[in-house]
Chains A and B, each alone.
Chain A
Amino acid sequence: MKLIDRYVYAVTDRLPVEIREDVNKELHANIEDMLPENAAEDDVKKVLEKLGDPIKLANEYNPTKKYLIGPDIYDTYISVLKLVTSIVTIVLVFVTLIEEAVNPSANEELIKMSIEVFTNLISTAIQGAVQGFLWVTLVFVILERTGVNQGKIPFIKKKWSIDDLPEVPVTNKRKISRVETAFSMFFSMLFLIIIYYQPQLIGIYEKNGNGITLSAPLFIVERLQSYIFIIIIIAFLGFGIQIWKFIAMKWSVPLAIANTIYNLALCILVLLMISDGSLLNQSAISSLANLTEILPSQLTNAWQWCIRVSIAVLILVTLGDSINGFVKCKRIK
């Protein structure tokens, strides 16, 4: 019976390998039981039509999740999606604008130039939106497939409890402002994108007849490339924590711990980069010396001081931020 074979195959082909053989045998037997003695092809057709669409039947045998992101995390997904896509898009547009301002297109005609800038902006914005959408969706699909139903993810609990109720008063000491989080996401994303795509934009700028122009990049770009991987990892750790803050809107011990780890990693990275002598572009220092009319030797001295002070500030700020997280999560109720 070729029709039966084809039908059974259409069902079992959609099933996991472990049960395929057994369902195959059972379904065959059941179908043959349903047929009268010496069945003609019409009888077979009738029985198969009664069993219905093989895709539906296969799904009855093996019910699987028929969605990428389920109702439990859908709301969170949408709010994070809006946040991330808009920030990425704004940052990319921002960077493109800076880029155009610093290195204007060679085109002489104003109209042609503005069209060029405009199309550039539009395509960057679309690119940013698509990238943001892709990554946020990917992360949430992974969350959906791995931990949601077990309640493993810190900010999306399956089982609701009274503690999850948000506090009504605005002056809540534990609260993390969403605006603040969105701002810090904006700036860290801006920084990452500049470092990644346009590191030469960070540098000493000069004002002359043509407006403001770049006189020397601050970093040796090739040397900076060797840090890029670790910078990206730390930046993504940071984004993760910011998104966590954005969703949770209040401090908790795991969040404070993650925040401390992130601050520590950031400090170590910055210290490493500062102590790397070959990262700094010497011509940036001489051009700064030109600009400020200070002797290079004096400038180097001042530079050293500058670095020491910024290291101290960095350590103090990150230390304060880490402690702040723990202090605020103590203030429960």
Chain B
Amino acid sequence: MDSMEELISSLIVELRRGTLVLSVLSQLHTPEYGYSLVQKLEEKNSPIEAGTLYPLLRRLEKQQLLTSEWDTTESRPRKFYVLSEVGKEVYNRLKSEWESLSNQLNKLLKEGENNEID
């Protein structure tokens, strides 16, 4: 039974991985720094590992979806990330893609349920 649990958890990780970028982009209409974003996502029940998020932010910046700026006014300098113009467009496209995807999937799952009953 252990191996089944392992399989399930690895499949869940895979399932969530695809939505990672979308959930990060959705929270960056206003500037956030690494840890504030971790907290924000945690509060909204979509936690991401800090060790995954920090490098992801850099990668998204490299892909020009985010822009960043160091804020040195506070006692501790922090790097803030926010959606770029490209990032906003990409986010909107991904969002509508996600919506149609989840609609289709819901339909498939509903069908599956009906078949089970038969």
Interface, chain A (partner B; CB < 8 A): 19, 22-23, 25-27, 29-30, 32-34, 50-52, 56-57, 60-61
Contact = CB atoms under 8 A, between A and B. Distances in A.
B51 A60 contact: yes
B77 A61 contact: no
A33 B33 contact: yes
B51 A30 contact: no
B34 A61 contact: no
Contacts of B36: 33
Which of A33, A51, A61 has its CB near the most chain B CB atoms (within 10 A)? A33
A27 B50 CA distance: 10
B55 A33 contact: no
For chain B, the bracket of interface size reads 10 to 19
Interface string B21-54: 0000000000001111010000000000111101
A32 B34 CA distance: 11
Contact of A26 (B49, B56, B79): B79
A52 to B, nearest CB: 5
Given A34-B50, A51-B50, A29 B55 contact: no
Contacts of B49: 50, 52
A324 B117 CA distance: 70
A249 to B, nearest CB: 39
Nearest to A61: B55
B88 interface: no
B54 A29 contact: no
- Main SS of chain B's interface residues? helix
A60 B79 contact: no
A57 B34 CA distance: 15
Contact of A32 (B51, B55, B76): B76
B95 interface: no
Interface in B65-106: 70, 76-79
A56 B51 contact: yes
B58 A57 contact: no
Nearest to A62: B55
10 contacts: A19-B58, A26-B79, A29-B77, A30-B50, A33-B35, A33-B78, A50-B51, A52-B49, A52-B51, A60-B56
Interface SS of chain A: helix
A25 B54 CA distance: 12
A189 B52 CA distance: 52
Given A51-B51, A52-B51, A29 B33 contact: yes
Nearest to A30: B34
Contacts of B35: 30, 33-34
Given A23-B58, A61-B58, A29 B34 contact: yes
Contacts of A23: 58
Contacts of A33: 33-36, 76, 78
Contacts of A52: 49, 51
Given A25-B77, A60-B56, 4 more contacts: A30-B35, A30-B50, A34-B38, A52-B49
Given A23-B58, A34-B35, A60-B55, A29 B50 contact: no
A50 B55 CA distance: 15
Contacts of B34: 26, 29-30, 33
A50 B52 CA distance: 11
B54 A27 contact: yes
Contacts of B52: 60
Given A26-B34, A33-B34, A33-B35, A57 B78 contact: no
Contacts of B77: 25, 29
B54 A26 contact: yes
Given A34-B50, A50-B50, A51-B50, A25 B55 contact: no
A56 B51 CA distance: 9
